Chains A and B, each alone.
Chain A
Amino acid sequence: MSMITHKTGRPAVLLQGNEAIARGALEAGVAFCAGYPGNPSSEIIETLAHAARDLPVYVEWSTNEKVALEAATAASFAGCRAIACMKQNGVNVASDFLTNLTLSGTKGGLVLVTCDDPGGISSTNEEDARWFARMAEIPLLEPATPREALLMTRRAFELSEEIKNVVMVRSVSRLSHTRASTRTGDLPGFDAAPRFDPRVPFHTFPVVPKHRERRKKLDTAVALSESFSLNRYAGPDRPELLVISSGCAWNYAQEAVEILELEQRVGILKLGTTWPLPADLIERYLLSCDRVLFAEDVDAFVEDGVKALAADMGERIGLKRFYGKASGHLPFCGELSPAHLLEALARILDLPAPDDAYRKEISEKVADAVPQREFGFCPGCPHRGTYFAIKTALAWDGRDGFVSGDIGCYTMGIWPTGFNQVKSVHAMGSGLGLACGYGKLTKFGFDQPVVTVCGDSTFFHAALPALVNARFNSADILLLVLDNSATAMTGFQPHPGTGFTASGDKTAPVDIEGLCRSLGVPVTVADPYRMAETARTLYGLMQESGPRVLVLRRKCALVQGREGGFPFRMRVAEDRCLGEACGCGRYCTRIFRCPGLVWDEASGKARIDEVICVGCGICADICPQDAIVREETGAGGAGPGNAVPTGEKEK
């Protein structure tokens, strides 16, 4: 039984921000949920998919965010409530549809949730997706707590139906992954009866009148936001400083004001509706105070908006002094924290700098306790073998070849764990798009081999159009599909190749090789665990021209671990290990760097960390001395997809 499918509301349920969003959608009677996994958004669809076992709700992982929003929109057009969930980068993918959809308008409540990742903790950027609300001229709600996330999501469906357009809800990592005691409401009766009314078409023509209509909807949204209960003020009637905050930054502002005991001097206006801004409400508070500090995550979105309003209101409200990112009191880049707010408040109010002796003392004390860690592939990860083979083949080739990377665990190929082979990473599918370009530079004498990698899920998400492009334009590309049968980085969500859906139903898996072959692209399949053989295959493919695909197939080590594990117990034969000496130079721990291999300072030999090592066995193939020994345990096994490495040696 899911935490969020209880029929009658409860006074206190411990909910993660993303679960609260899911519960809010269910309390709004959502019928259709779609998304593409990506941290920090993934748990929303996962929670809903789980709930769909008990409730008549449809939930899917779509191939990408644009398709997710489109699929959800169909439900809206047919009169049902629908939600599409994604991370900030995903909104970029969906944006082409979004900016058109908002001209045609919607019918059933349609909510687009973006979970932004300030600081880029698990993203390639720290983009602020709120601008899309402004660009598409749709209302934007920003919850600050799980409770607000629930309420605002629920409210977003109503608002969407009131203005007949998409409503965007923005969370950030700290909210999505925070747990808090949350009051829930009742679940409605789920009574979706989808029907598309052919008399009411949805399109963007004629464009200008449709645009006017969209502006009018935005005006309605402004009016509704003026009385929105989650826009709240707390503080004195005439504060010395007004903090205008949104989302998680509100929590930081609260905490800073409390720590500095400024409750009688500083007021905090928390905005839940950050686009369009409630101008009248803002004017009232600007009249109360001449100094304003903005607290919000990533861009100066509210800051810019309020400054623009203040210019319009100038005659009535007079000159204001604004503090925030533009003034340099808060950083433009990186995630905000209570410390940033403490510092800004102290600076503005001319207070002594916050005493951080204690913080320093603590961080020094724990520094030794926290081991230095770099990004690394898991023990047994097939990507380690893949990048080792790529490194080998590129060195053999000797023409300064490189890897055009993509989004997934294998992005870590930019670091030593992937032997620093990946030289560019941007958006989903971009590795292959770039490769298409390199693959035509050959006309100008470009002869560096380019290997592009993409995971199985990324292949379906955005690499396919680039592959068709490569075929169409006969680009010299070598695409490596790193098929580990999972969307591993975001938590093992199913994708078109896995053979089951978000709700766990079986479906026919899409055959990657068949797909490539149908495009007329020759496909080879190799095993990342057989590194030397794979390197030879790669070298051969690098010498050819035209579009080529090599599928490197081996299950994600975590999946394999759950499905019976690995066949070996590894050990180092100490008498054979050369250690630092000529002939080895700590090759396994210095170059290969699987976390299961550790350097024993005392003995001057390598050894296996039995807690970490999973027993995949591939390190035995890189030891120049055959000192790393595989012992068969009979576990896991040699079943299909888990064939035992052959023990072939690099020459």
Chain B
Amino acid sequence: MAVSGGQALLNERVLASGLCVGCGACVGICPYYHYFDGKVMIMDPCRVESGRCFQVCPRAECEETDPGRGEETEYSGEIGPYRRVLMARAVDPDIRDRAQYGGAVSALLIHALEAGDIDCAVLTDAGGALAPDGKIVRRKEEVLACAGSRYSASGGLSALNRAVSSDETRIGVVGLPCQMEALARLGKTDPDGAERLAAVSVRIGLFCTWALDYRKLNRFLRDRLPGKTLKKYDIPPPPAEVFRVLMDDGWVDFPLSEIRPLVQKGCGLCCDMTAHRADISVGTVEGIESWNTVIVRTDAGAALVDSAIAKGRLETEELPEENLRHLKKAAANKRERGERASGDAGRSS
């Protein structure tokens, strides 16, 4: 029995204190939580004393006296445990066109689906009238429709819970570091966490510096660009220091300093930039726009990457030493910021 708590404690520690990052891990295992339009909320009071919602939450951190929890979050080095770090991109130019940067995630998933390594994948859709949301996909077209960066919480793991509840197995999951952390915790939840996690075949984590509060972003854009619809956004690598949004009539740039206040409060406590708990972590490569950085961490991750390379779906190159150094520096910076903020908030990680 690792951790224990119910809705009241989760609300006190995470939701009411504004630390929820919207990963969606607590959504879809019961009727008491919903993810809707960029936010996770409590729908009704639950009186179950020890619930999976609390156990699975990557932000429901425990007191130091609470045994078992602290050791689960391990940081072996700045970018976590890994076998190798590569630069990779999709071979299929169609994928590269439609995805952001090198399209490595889409290529890996499409390969896994087509090779039959996984039956379905849990991704984050592009959103529309509402914020991006988790989606269960099975075909190339569906994967590509979800391609691209979101920069906001997506509640994506609610789709995983839906998939598992519908008896899906052999699921690929793509998510942010907090979502990978939630998956790690899922395995330890009572009574069926191990069983639920066993349905996940491969976990692809995405690099993340922070995510925006979608509703705040929406209000910001509505005030600044009234009457226009958001289609896509991007944060070009440093030193650009801008947040670019594609509205229906073209790209608009905002200085990052204007965007930072819209970052989710809970992201400030996060120490993990590169999704240490994933099988494979994917992000950008500083200064090389058409490629991705790929960190292969586990056997499952290595198997998928190797097979995608072997089948000619993914091409790779060595990540330049300079880039790896920068990546480690950036990851160390995030960890330092997160630890400082956690300390300020009277928490220990």
Instruction: Return chain A residues, CB-CB under 8 Å to B32.
Output: 585, 587
In the complex, A585 Cα to B46 Cα: how many Å? 7
Q: Are A395 and B41 in contact (CB under 8 A)?
A: yes
A650 within 8 A of B: yes
A510 within 8 A of B: no
User: Dominant SS at the A interface?
Assistant: loop
Instruction: Return chain B residues, CB-CB under 8 Å to A392.
Output: 34, 43
Instruction: Return chain A residues, CB-CB under 8 Å to B34.
Output: 392, 395-396, 650-651
In the complex, A392 Cα to B44 Cα: how many Å? 9
A624 within 8 A of B: yes
Instruction: Return chain A residues, CB-CB under 8 Å to B28.
Output: 651
Q: Are B162 and A651 in contact (CB under 8 A)?
A: yes
In the complex, A584 Cα to B30 Cα: how many Å? 6
B240 within 8 A of A: no
Q: Are A539 and B36 in contact (CB under 8 A)?
A: yes
A540 within 8 A of B: yes
Q: Are A585 and B43 in contact (CB under 8 A)?
A: no
Closest CB-CB distance, A572 to chain B, in whole Å? Answer: 16
Q: A570-582 vs B: 1/0 string, CB under 8 Å?
A: 0000000000111
Q: Are A622 and B31 in contact (CB under 8 A)?
A: yes
In the complex, A548 Cα to B32 Cα: how many Å? 29
Comparing B47-55, B270-278, B303-311, the segment that makes contact with chain A is: B47-55
Q: A609-651 vs B: 1/0 string, CB under 8 Å?
A: 0000000000000101000000000000000000000000011
Interface residues on B, range: 20 to 34
Cβ contact of B39, chosen from A398, A584, A622, cutoff 8 A = A398
What's the A-B contact tally at a CB cutoff of 8 Å? 54
Give chain A interface residues in 386-420, CB to chain B under 8 Å.
391-392, 395-396, 398
A328 within 8 A of B: no
Q: Are A395 and B31 in contact (CB under 8 A)?
A: no
Q: Are A591 and B48 in contact (CB under 8 A)?
A: no
B42 within 8 A of A: yes
Instruction: Give how many A residues have a beta carbon under 8 Å from the other chain's beta carbons.
Output: 19
In the complex, A583 Cα to B48 Cα: how many Å? 9
Q: Are A584 and B37 in contact (CB under 8 A)?
A: no
B124 within 8 A of A: no
Q: Are B41 and A396 in contact (CB under 8 A)?
A: yes
Closest CB-CB distance, B172 to chain A, in whole Å? Answer: 20
B129 within 8 A of A: yes
In the complex, A532 Cα to B146 Cα: how many Å? 24
Q: A118-138 vs B: 1/0 string, CB under 8 Å?
A: 000000000000000000000
Closest CB-CB distance, A476 to chain B, in whole Å? Answer: 15
Closest CB-CB distance, B139 to chain A, in whole Å? Answer: 21
Please name the residue on chain B nearest to A588 by beta carbon. Answer: B31
Q: Other than the known A395-B34, A591-B31, what 12 A-B pairs have Cβ atoms closer than 8 Å? A: A392-B34, A398-B41, A539-B36, A539-B37, A582-B51, A582-B191, A584-B31, A585-B48, A650-B31, A650-B34, A651-B27, A651-B34
A-B contact pairs, 7 of them (CB 8 A): A395-B41, A398-B41, A581-B48, A582-B191, A583-B30, A587-B31, A622-B31
**Top-9 shortest CB links A-B:** A396-B36, A583-B30, A582-B51, A624-B31, A585-B48, A591-B44, A582-B48, A585-B46, A587-B31
Q: A residues engaging B (CB < 8 A)?
A: 391-392, 395-396, 398, 539-540, 580-585, 587, 591, 622, 624, 650-651
